[in-house]
Chains A and B, each alone.
Chain A
């Protein structure tokens, strides 16, 4: 009697289970599609540039650096590859940071930047450019990112204090983040006033955001940051998903909302701070990457978190490729192009979904 026919097993398996599996399967396919798109855009980003390297040379140079002339090897391995990879790392970090902030503050406009993190980084960078301070044990080229990082982390620390004091009230956190944004912006403007033309331009250039100053060290730091934080985010996917059902429901399930907000904002701030301190404020990715992922993948954070990383990385990578090809011989700062790439992607999805998301 232990023989169970396959038919009975089929009947025992609930149709809800089958439908749910199918839905999840479709989402994993979308993730796979996004990964392929990301590889393609990485490739586009690598072959774009003024040096006249052919696609074949790049491929063989990647597989075996020795086949390239020294000049080309340096261009590929020390310029293009780190630039292309930092686009992925920064885009991914901002995507993850953005989706977690949006979910936990239940605010579609929330992003690392509405928490005041970017403007604090600009403030730190402006200080570094104008005052040119000397910090012991920090080499001069690292002073700007260090100060930008300090600014970003300091503002996150203040936001965290607000989270604790307000017992995790999301309205307070969003409002305070915006207040921080204006405060840092005003202080940074003060620096711009006393800056000479050269320094002022440097600040503007930094504030727009560009990837070309990044090397392997920066790539390593941002990637490590993302790789270290991602598992912690994935451990909370269930709680984050159920939080989308509303705060009251989450609380009745025993979720400690203030604690959850604290942890998520710690994670999101660290990610955003490290992401922007090397490349400037590429703010838009952290806002729109998550929304694109949400529209493609729905609200289940098991797929939404990786999807948001992929979307953020994809936008920034495409923008980076475009920044080198748009005007021949000129590299347009990528911060300008993220919006140019992101908005059409965003709008096309929005119209396809008829505003329902």
Chain B
């Protein structure tokens, strides 16, 4: 048993954003895709799991309840990549990684920390930008810096809020493929909010589809991504097929005229 989310409700002011979100226990080694239209509550759910936002219900990771664990301990194992990439200031990626590691008090010597940052940057293709101001980086590269920041503490639960939104075709593949491999090798868990259904189907073991703060479907991609569910949630008509290689392909025909 590793990640458990049951009956989670969250509010902004009086407005209820999440309504009794529950899904089956997520085993270790899974990459979970969190799907849903804009404003459906994906980021909010991420913030609840990461501990940034107070919520009702139970969130447990490796038998530890979020409410009974100190913030320090929780942040040691759970890392989030927020939806907004790091701000475009004169700060450099290395400085940002360094200060993040140091304020988390990671027990690493300067040399080891440098080596670790170097490895992460190598994997994400950021080495040539290591000392360039963030404001001079393109939007996609800054998003990769955001991912690098979440990876610095070797999290056991990695929460990625739209990690590939600004990435090109190549990096979208590389990042998701790499996260999947990492999760399998280290037997940890990653949850990624995604808008790209093809990619989600291809890389995730489990998909969670939410709409207006409620669970619509949970399960393996082929069970969740049905024309019915997609029509219900995204209000578009689709045709599903398999590519020659056996990957799910979603052909969007058009919007469904009568909404709601």
Q: Which residues does A use to contact B, with CB under 8 Å?
A: 13-17, 19-20, 23, 106, 237-239, 241-242, 244-246, 248-249, 251-255, 294, 298-301, 356-357
Contact = CB atoms under 8 A, between A and B. Distances in A.
B140 interface: no
B87 A254 contact: no
Contacts of A300: 91, 95, 99
Interface of B: 50-52, 71-72, 75, 79-87, 89-92, 94-96, 98-100, 102-104, 110-111, 114-115, 117-118, 121, 127, 130-131, 133-136, 146, 149-150
Contacts of B87: 106, 244-246, 249
Contacts of B71: 254
A255 B103 contact: yes
A252 B150 contact: yes
20 contacts: A16-B117, A17-B111, A19-B94, A237-B99, A239-B103, A242-B99, A242-B100, A244-B87, A244-B89, A244-B96, A246-B86, A248-B84, A249-B146, A249-B149, A251-B52, A253-B104, A253-B149, A298-B91, A299-B90, A356-B90
Of all A-B residue pairs in the complex, the 3 with the closest CB atoms, nearest first, are A17-B114, A241-B99, A246-B87
Contacts of A252: 50, 52, 79-82, 150
A17 B116 CA distance: 10
B103 A242 contact: yes
Contacts of A246: 84-87
A20 B52 contact: no
Query: Which among B52, B81, B86 has the greatest number of chain A C-beta atoms within 10 A?
Result: B86
Contacts of B89: 244-245, 299
Nearest to A248: B82
B118 A14 contact: yes
B59 to A, nearest CB: 16
Given A242-B103, A252-B52, A16 B91 contact: no
Contacts of A14: 111, 114-115, 118
A239 B98 CA distance: 11
B69 to A, nearest CB: 12
A14 to B, nearest CB: 4
Nearest to B134: A245
Contacts of B127: 16
Contacts of B100: 238, 242, 245, 249, 253
A106 B82 CA distance: 18
B50 A17 contact: no
Nearest to A353: B90
Contact of B90 (A239, A249, A255, A298): A298
B103 A245 contact: no
A25 to B, nearest CB: 13
B192 to A, nearest CB: 15
B64 to A, nearest CB: 16
